[in-house]
Structure 1
Amino acid sequence: MSTELHPPIAKIISHQLEKHGHIRTDNYYWLNDRENPEVIDYLNKENEYYQKSTEHTKAFQKDLFEEMKARIKEDDESYPYFYNGYFYITRFEKGKDYPIYSRKKESLTSAEEIMFDCNEMAKDFTYFNLNGISISEDNKWVSFGVDTVSRRQYTIQIKNLETNEILPLKIENTTGGATWASDNKTIFYTRKDEVTLRSDKIFKHKLGSNPADDVVVYFEKDDTFNVTVYKSKSKKYLIITSESTLTSEYQILLSSTPDSKFKVFQKRTRELEYSISHYEDSFYIVTNKDDATNFKLMKTPEDKTSKENWVDLISHREEVLLEGIDIFKDYLVVSERFDGLNKIRIMPWNGGEEYYLPFELETYTAYTTTNIDFDTEILRYGYQSMATPSSIIDFNMRTKEKTVLKEQEVLGGKFDKNNYIEERIWATAIDGTKVPISMVYRKGIKLNGQNPFLLYAYGSYGMTMDPYFSTTRLSLLDRGFIYAISHVRGGEDLGRNWYEDGKLLKKKNTFTDFIDCSKYVIEQKYTSPEHLYAEGGSAGGLLMGAIINMNPELYNGVIAQVPFVDVVTTMLDETIPLTTGEYDEWGNPNKKKYYNYMLSYSPYDNVEKKEYPNMYISTGLHDSQVQYWEPAKWVAKLRVYKTNDKQLYLDTNMEAGHGGASGRFEALKEVAKEFTFLLDLEKIER
């Protein structure tokens, strides 16, 4: 690296923040202003520093991008699914970034009807995302949402599939999704609060009317809740969901009477969570009622929906997490998790023998996929492992015959899953808890402590990080890296208690679990601190910030994507998207005990004068989930405090938000940046 290069040093403007009689000084609070030219100038200078500092890796980045792109089948398509008389297909064309959504009437040999060519629709935008495709029951109309900024504020439009005309209607500031009533002319959709982006209102729109006249069907006053609307698989009911982290409430309305009033299914009760599925004359409820921590399945008549009428169908089990159900005409399919592994259970309604789908490995993921058709004996599910490309499988629940419809192709002719070893090992946390680690590496690696090792984790919101296959990851594995996922507490990997033990006033378990997993792979000679790297994004970026404050000496490098690192200030600002809805996850710092606990781990507040590892930190200027100024302030502070000359880069995408670039190949360029950061530190140049 050139000796003349100096990182930008952000100016200091002291800003006092007071709460509970405690004063914090934030010298970089001024960066919290997207409209300030000085802020943009600082971000541009950081980008320029990153670009110039990594100039020597540019050719390698390009080679890695081409290598990863070459493994992807460019002219690929999803396996068609059948719904209401049509086969639906999503496909990509060679050299193009965006999907094409199409359908074929009744047979796969029928003429293709293109609903949306996103390549055409995206050509005037640097960012483009289409979501929420919803088709009327008469197959004539489709509603859809478009975001061209990357703040997840979608504009809903409607297209006539018979004439291919997109109506002039534009409904702004929505989640993108809409649901058709059975009359084929009424849609229900969700609007967001303009400032906080909370999904707080359900509206009703009639075809041909002015959106200004749309009726508010429901307004969610509680700012810790979000709302959505959808239709039951049976098509009989329209359903509004109100959910917070710990509490849910549903409202139902016959889809055939869209102008009637929604009726509350079971009114909200603090910490009662439930979800509903309709079948014949009953509702089936997955719920934590009666202290069912890992959830159970209950049933109630459709005309008696309050909880005193619910009866147990599958009782609560201490060792099994009930994750969800799929209802078919003749079968109930239950998705469960035991010992951290997915299980799919088939239960015939007629009382016939129930059974589980058989899976052999310990590093796999299995999940039910697009099962929209109600009257079928075919269950469609997905399967993959860390060394096995993802497959879509049709399983006949009556004959137990399995048909692999599609296996992800890895092009280039070099990939053979038999060249890789997958294993699951268990580290012991500081409190004695066993924490699983899923890993994959190339055969022939010696456990001599010299292997480069990338350890990933998330660990929040009860989100489970299942072992999965990645074609991009092969670029690391084939260069000698071991890749691993640490299933830390805060996720739901080992059941609901695993989540409860990693949130609120137990949040630090997430951080110490990751550190203990890091220490274990070093002890077991998989790697050493000179070759160990950590990676996490968003709430996983908070994890990265915490571990480098607690044990920076364990890591040679850290990748933090869109990191949530200014926890206290963000959680005290109720105008920021997501804040109020997350008090049940992080705690409400307006209460002193949560304020003090958050302050004890918030990465930004705990930066100290010490040696920090090499760091690559990325963000997006338009991010609505974690605002760009959190990583920007963090880097500015780290620049002043760190006592070594290790690399520290802030890479801001000035066009995108939380998910990064929108095109499928543009996203690979971001991965190539991260990989070259790691490979450069390992002195691997090709």
Structure 2
Amino acid sequence: MPLSSAPISAPIARQGDGADPYAWLQARDEAEVLDYLKAENAWQEQQLADQAGLRETLFQEIKARILETDLSLPSPWGPYLYYTRTTAGDEYPRHYRCPRPVDGSHEADEAREQLLLDPNELADGGFLSLGAFSISPDHQRLAYSLDTSGEEVYRLFVKDLDSGQIHSLPFEDCDGSMTWANDSQTLFFAELDDTHRPYKLYRHRLGEEAAHEVFCEPDGRFFLSCLRSSSERQLILQLGSKTTGEVWVLDAEQPQQPFTCLAPRVEGHEYDVDHGLLEGVWTWFIRSNQDGINFALYHAPQTDHSVPTRADWQPLVAHSDTVMLDGVTFNARAITLSLREGGLPVIEVRPQGLPAYRVQLPDAAYSLYVQDSLEFDSDRIRLRYQSLNRPAQVRQLLLDSGEQRVLKQTPVLGEFDADAYVSQRLWATAADGTQVPISLVMRRDRQGLPAPLYLYGYGAYGASLDPWFSHARLSLLDRGVAFAIAHVRGGGELGEAWYRAGKQEHKHNTFDDFIACAEHLIAQGVTRAEQLVISGGSAGGLLIGAVLNQRPELFKAAIAEVPFVDVLNTMLDPDLPLTVTEYDEWGNPQEPEVHARIKGYAPYENVRAQAYPATLVIAGYNDSRVQYWEAAKWVAKLRTHKTDDNLLLLKTELDAGHGGMSGRYQGLRDVALEYGFVFKVLGLAL
């Protein structure tokens, strides 16, 4: 299919025989497929060529707000402080350590620092993703893993930190994880199967050529992972599907021994495990949904000879119908609960021997999580806090007293005043009467009149889209464009029930909620349909594709990044990465009822002859999660069916995966392209 590099008209993909006329685009690396993708890239470049100057302006403007040379907060561990430094012009931060100051401060001593790893040198201008970055317990070695294609397949390395010598471990098809035992000689890592699922755990002792398989998970729905407990005394092997969990444990001092199962899997029982202290006694802690969907916390004392059975679990934090127990952080002196209540994250601290308390914060809508629990015996932890109009802060929390101190706030260079922007929480009413939260931010001086609006959504896997600050977003806000997040069902913002109400047979709620949010913003005079741009990526791209088919007249433009739009065909192919593991999220279309349900909303299947908004679609050629052809097939079908003259653009990153290009400047240029598309479609004069 020879196509010129600069077509004067949009590329039209040929239609093959059979039920899926664009299935030929799935023939990876075939010349015809690559020619088509390159022609689409050329068409996109040609259509946006008049914006080259604007994109450069936006790139420089965004970059100018970012402190390009900066130091992360050093984290203490053993005799060292560990930290990263970004340098102007570099795509990636460098990793360092320095000796821990004797005065107990956390100030880095640049005169005595040691460079541990420089990803800029390793990338050499190409794609690079750093997987594991794991220091051995004796602080003598660094285990790290690299993906150089975007396919999320990693090579494993160990660096001797005294000599600087690097050893490449001779293992392939690795998921990138690397976990040390306490002897600082034994590493555990996971291998991927043909569907890109981590399914085997191996043990490797440094100096040996071989690795020994210690666990294999045959069930294609279950992912395998290995981590160190908070106490640093146990290794935890976590097995999990979307609905069921199982945990095996091993004394970190005895890595040659086999793992022991804590509680055999029971369908529908999700649990995870950690190890720490409770009233001075070494204890197993289990977060489980056995008493309710919002999870509760249990404990069981550690014994010398065996792990506790499920019958030994004793309640510590009871299940709540209104509060979700999202996670737990353990230190020697306190247990920190990460909760969700009323659509927002809440941190509750339970110091040993002292009353529990909740962390108080200044904003009505925000993002908050435990960023760093520091060392197990530390008397403090670090929280990361931000809102739509407030840059991210790292806050130190003294566990006993609850005293907070802002250690670092992400700087915004140039003129910036958080109070110049107003952040709001709105509620839309869905078709079935459900109240759906919306987070909204705009310039304070633009309130009261309909404004261009960028509406973002996701709504899958129970993921919570808590409000976050963005340096780049200021380029929208300062030009009068408002930004909103639709917290639709299928996400986790309002707990497990909110997630379950947007998956499987309830997936239509995700789309209905998003449409309701758009309609509410229009009805409230925040925006108008001719000013409304919508965006989502991956499973959020499925959301965008579905609502475009259902209500195209409601939107002016759409951006879909690595969109999961060929849902039916993907879920019918168990040989593709992740398909089998996704049955619990979407259903198995081999079952007639499920097949009909997915076919009823799948964006690719439901493209029809109608006018569609202007649409920009982004794909990653090496994407192992959402294959490039989903976007390509969807765009090809849209081209032949849509009845309008609105822009339809496909950009395939030929050297990237699911997360796009890997460097920070490359990422800013991608944002500049998307924002330029928004300004072009909305006809904003800049």
Scaled by the length of structure 1, what TM-score is found? 0.96
Give the equivalent residue in structure 1 for 2:330: 327
Amino acid at match of 1:371: S
Give the equivalent residue in structure 2 for 1:18: none
Amino acid at match of 1:616: L
SS at match of 1:245: coil
| Residue 340 in structure 1 maps to residue 340 in structure 2 | no
Amino acid at match of 1:320: V
8 Å contact from structure 1 (residues 74, 94) kept in 2:
yes
2:394 to 375, 392, 395: 392
CA distance in 2, matches of 1:175, 1:420: 42
SS at match of 2:172: strand
In the alignment, structure 2 segments of 5+ residues that lack a partner are 1-5, 102-107
CA distance in 1, matches of 2:569, 2:402: 55
Residues 278 and 6 of structure 1, relative CA distance in 2, 3 Å threshold: same
1:256 to 239, 244, 253: 253
SS at match of 1:425: strand
Alignment coverage as a number of residue pairs: 667
Residues 512 and 168 of structure 1, relative CA distance in 2, 3 Å threshold: closer
Counterparts of 1:130-145 in structure 2, within 5 Å, are 130-145=130-145
| Residue 242 in structure 1 maps to residue 243 in structure 2 | no
SS at match of 1:390: strand
SS at match of 1:444: helix
SS at match of 2:515: helix
Partner deviation per Cα, 1:201-235 (whole Å, 9 max, x = no partner):
1001010111xx21110010000001011111211
8 Å contact from structure 2 (residues 359, 402) kept in 1:
no
SS at match of 2:176: strand
Give the equivalent residue in structure 1 for 2:432: 431
SS at match of 2:519: helix
Stretch deviating more after TM superposition (4-13 or 599-608): 4-13
8 Å contact from structure 1 (residues 363, 424) kept in 2:
yes
| Residue 93 in structure 1 maps to residue 94 in structure 2 | no
Give the equivalent residue in structure 2 for 1:127: 127
8 Å contact from structure 2 (residues 7, 39) kept in 1:
no
SS at match of 1:43: helix
Amino acid at match of 1:149: S
Amino acid at match of 1:130: L
In the alignment, structure 1 segments of 5+ residues that lack a partner are 16-24
Amino acid at match of 2:245: S
8 Å contact from structure 2 (residues 155, 169) kept in 1:
no
Amino acid at match of 1:204: R
| Residue 77 in structure 1 maps to residue 78 in structure 2 | no
Shift of residue 380 of structure 1? 0.9
Counterparts of 1:528-677 in structure 2, within 5 Å, are 528-677=528-677
Give the equivalent residue in structure 1 for 2:230: 233
CA distance in 2, matches of 1:397, 1:255: 27
CA distance in 2, matches of 1:672, 1:498: 34
CA distance in 1, matches of 2:432, 2:401: 47
8 Å contact from structure 1 (residues 578, 625) kept in 2:
yes
CA distance in 2, matches of 1:518, 1:595: 29
Give the equivalent residue in structure 1 for 2:3: none
8 Å contact from structure 1 (residues 133, 144) kept in 2:
yes
Give the equivalent residue in structure 2 for 1:188: 188
Give the equivalent residue in structure 2 for 1:404: 406
| Residue 207 in structure 1 maps to residue 209 in structure 2 | no
Give the equivalent residue in structure 2 for 1:442: 443
| Residue 112 in structure 1 maps to residue 109 in structure 2 | no
Kindly report structure 1 stretches of 4+ aligned residues shifted beyond 4 Å.
Answer: none
Partner deviation per Cα, 1:229-272 (whole Å, 9 max, x = no partner):
11112111111111100011110111111111110011111010
Shift of residue 684 of structure 1? 2.1
CA distance in 1, matches of 2:362, 2:168: 53
Give the equivalent residue in structure 1 for 2:12: 9
CA distance in 2, matches of 1:647, 1:131: 37
Counterparts of 1:293-304 in structure 2, within 5 Å, are 293-303=293-303, 304=307
Give the equivalent residue in structure 2 for 1:276: 273
Give the equivalent residue in structure 2 for 1:49: 43
Partner deviation per Cα, 1:559-600 (whole Å, 9 max, x = no partner):
000000010100011111111111000001111111110000
CA distance in 1, matches of 2:231, 2:213: 25
CA distance in 2, matches of 1:489, 1:441: 24
Shift of residue 446 of structure 1? 4.1
Give the equivalent residue in structure 2 for 1:370: 372
8 Å contact from structure 2 (residues 234, 249) kept in 1:
yes
Shift of residue 305 of structure 1? 2.4
CA distance in 1, matches of 2:310, 2:674: 50
Partner deviation per Cα, 1:453-486 (whole Å, 9 max, x = no partner):
0110100000000001000000000000110000
CA distance in 2, matches of 1:601, 1:302: 50
CA distance in 1, matches of 2:456, 2:447: 21
Shift of residue 396 of structure 1? 1.2
Give the equivalent residue in structure 1 for 2:105: none
CA distance in 2, matches of 1:302, 1:576: 42
8 Å contact from structure 1 (residues 157, 170) kept in 2:
no
Give the equivalent residue in structure 2 for 1:380: 382
8 Å contact from structure 1 (residues 460, 502) kept in 2:
yes
Partner deviation per Cα, 1:322-354 (whole Å, 9 max, x = no partner):
11111111111111111011111111222x211
Give the equivalent residue in structure 2 for 1:288: 289
CA distance in 2, matches of 1:245, 1:646: 39
CA distance in 1, matches of 2:364, 2:632: 40
Partner deviation per Cα, 1:164-183 (whole Å, 9 max, x = no partner):
11024343221212111111
8 Å contact from structure 2 (residues 156, 168) kept in 1:
no
Amino acid at match of 1:285: I
Counterparts of 1:481-492 in structure 2, within 5 Å, are 481-492=481-492
Give the equivalent residue in structure 2 for 1:156: 156
Give the equivalent residue in structure 2 for 1:59: 53
Partner deviation per Cα, 1:87-143 (whole Å, 9 max, x = no partner):
1101111111111011112223361111101111111x5201122111111111111
Residues 590 and 4 of structure 1, relative CA distance in 2, 3 Å threshold: closer
Give the equivalent residue in structure 1 for 2:263: 266
Shift of residue 279 of structure 1? 1.3
CA distance in 2, matches of 1:617, 1:273: 36
8 Å contact from structure 1 (residues 134, 177) kept in 2:
no
Shift of residue 685 of structure 1? 4.0
Shift of residue 361 of structure 1? 1.9
Amino acid at match of 1:368: V
Give the equivalent residue in structure 2 for 1:22: none
SS at match of 1:221: coil
Amino acid at match of 1:296: A
Instruction: Give % identity.
Output: 39
8 Å contact from structure 1 (residues 329, 375) kept in 2:
yes
Partner deviation per Cα, 1:63-101 (whole Å, 9 max, x = no partner):
101111111111012111111221110111111111101
8 Å contact from structure 2 (residues 491, 499) kept in 1:
yes
Counterparts of 1:491-530 in structure 2, within 5 Å, are 491-530=491-530
Amino acid at match of 1:103: R
Amino acid at match of 1:339: G
CA distance in 2, matches of 1:87, 1:588: 49
Shift of residue 6 of structure 1? 1.1
Residues 658 and 4 of structure 1, relative CA distance in 2, 3 Å threshold: closer
| Residue 28 in structure 1 maps to residue 37 in structure 2 | no
